[in-house]
Structure 1
Amino acid sequence: MHLSDERIKLLPFDKSDLELFLEISTCSEIMKHVSKPFTYDEAKAAFEVRSQPWDIKSDGWFSLSITELECGEKVGSIALKILNHEAKIAEVGFLIKSGTQGRGIASSALRILEAYAFNELELNKLVAFCSVDNTGSYKLLEKQGFIREGCFLQNTVINNRYVDDYAYGLCKSAYNKS
């Protein structure tokens, strides 16, 4: 499995990604549109689950670290989870460290993961969900060809507050046309 471009590489989580995962998932600024930041212990437990071996029949997340090739720094993560094995639908999600946001890293990572999902895993559709307040994420999804399919009112609780989420989808047939 070769998941890279000229700027970044994606690798399945291993023990060396624990520090990255802890930094991202415990940061209130990064997590403000996702969930309440994890405690150290919650993050460590979640990492143990996220770093388990994965295959197409798995029900858990296939989590990958994002490494910038030029400096060798791990700058974020991207993940895929099969929601419906029969219909070949998977959810995608991504988190980028604060200091490296806005540089096209998430866009590159999503483009690489899309190609892998459609061409290697032979999935039919990718979906993504993000807070209506998460402008950066929904603009990125739209730039990558995802279509806003709806808005789920009061869909998530973040810091004891109900949050509306946009739902996005990208079908393989639309991806192949781009």
Structure 2
Amino acid sequence: MLELYTDRLKIRSLQQEDWQSFLSVHQDPRQNQYVRVPDGLEVLTDKFEQRLRPWRYESGDWLTLVIEEISTGEFIGFTGLYSVDLSLGQVEVGYMLAATGQGKGYGTESLKGVIDWACLSFDVHKFIGLCADQNQASIRVLEKCGFTHEGTLRHNYLLDGRWIDDRYYGLLASERS
């Protein structure tokens, strides 16, 4: 089981007992307003079961990690990554915090921890972050972690009948602070 630690957070592998937290975050329309229309129970069950399987960097699958507050054990949210292109050393990162974990710097702290671990564990050249143009909180997390806005993908996906522009961010491993 993978366990990473930051000043305030424990970041660990997803486990079976995380199902209720996974379901709660992934079904909450407010949490998903910039990401997706919340999936149904069957789709989320399949997604959860897939993410419980042993993960390999080269698989192209998401590594889903649970974020917990060390002092209280409180569930904060999820973070993770996947290898977009092994030959180019490109990794996409992501995070989704529960409402109770937002606005406290946990997104930034957990993402920095995952980036540091990935740099030490794999041959990463570049980290990629995508977020909806309207998602100011996610934009702040990426920018606080040193990511540079490299462009906007206009009308990149359709969400509940609305076209969403995605901001494309990049961070070279050599640039991380």
Offset of residue 122 of structure 1: 2.7
Partner of 1:135: 136
Q: CA-to-partner distance for each residue in 1:82-101, whole Å, 9 max, x for gaps?
A: 00011111100000001220
Equivalents in 2 of 1:110, 1:28: separation in Å?
A: 23
Partner of 1:110: 111
Q: CA-to-partner distance for each residue in 1:117-151, whole Å, 9 max, x for gaps?
A: 11222311110100000000011101110000110
Segments of structure 1 that go 5 or more residues without pairing to the other structure are none
Amino acid at match of 1:37: P
Equivalents in 1 of 2:19, 2:86: separation in Å?
A: 29
Q: Which moved more, 1:79-88 or 1:47-56?
A: 47-56
Amino acid at match of 1:23: S
Contact 2:156–2:165 (CA under 8 A) maintained in structure 1:
yes
What SS does the aligned partner of 2:168 have?
Answer: strand
Segments of structure 2 that go 5 or more residues without pairing to the other structure are none
Contact 2:79–2:96 (CA under 8 A) maintained in structure 1:
yes
Equivalents in 1 of 2:142, 2:7: separation in Å?
A: 21
**TM (normalized to structure 1)?**
0.95
Contact 2:90–2:124 (CA under 8 A) maintained in structure 1:
yes
Runs of 4+ deviating beyond 2 Å: none
Equivalents in 1 of 2:42, 2:110: separation in Å?
A: 28
**TM (normalized to structure 2)?**
0.95
Offset of residue 2 of structure 1: 4.1
Partner of 1:120: 121
Equivalents in 2 of 1:11, 1:100: separation in Å?
A: 16
What SS does the aligned partner of 1:155 have?
Answer: strand
What SS does the aligned partner of 1:31 have?
Answer: coil
What SS does the aligned partner of 1:126 have?
Answer: strand
1:2-151 equivalences in 2 (<5 Å): 2-151=3-152
The 1:2/1:122 distance shift into structure 2, 3 A limit, reads farther
Contact 2:3–2:13 (CA under 8 A) maintained in structure 1:
no
Offset of residue 46 of structure 1: 1.1
Equivalents in 2 of 1:143, 1:64: separation in Å?
A: 20
Equivalents in 2 of 1:99, 1:43: separation in Å?
A: 21
Equivalents in 2 of 1:41, 1:113: separation in Å?
A: 29
When the two structures are aligned, how many residues end up with a matched partner?
Answer: 176
Contact 2:57–2:82 (CA under 8 A) maintained in structure 1:
no
**Identity over aligned residues, as a percent?**
28
Amino acid at match of 2:30: E
Amino acid at match of 1:17: D
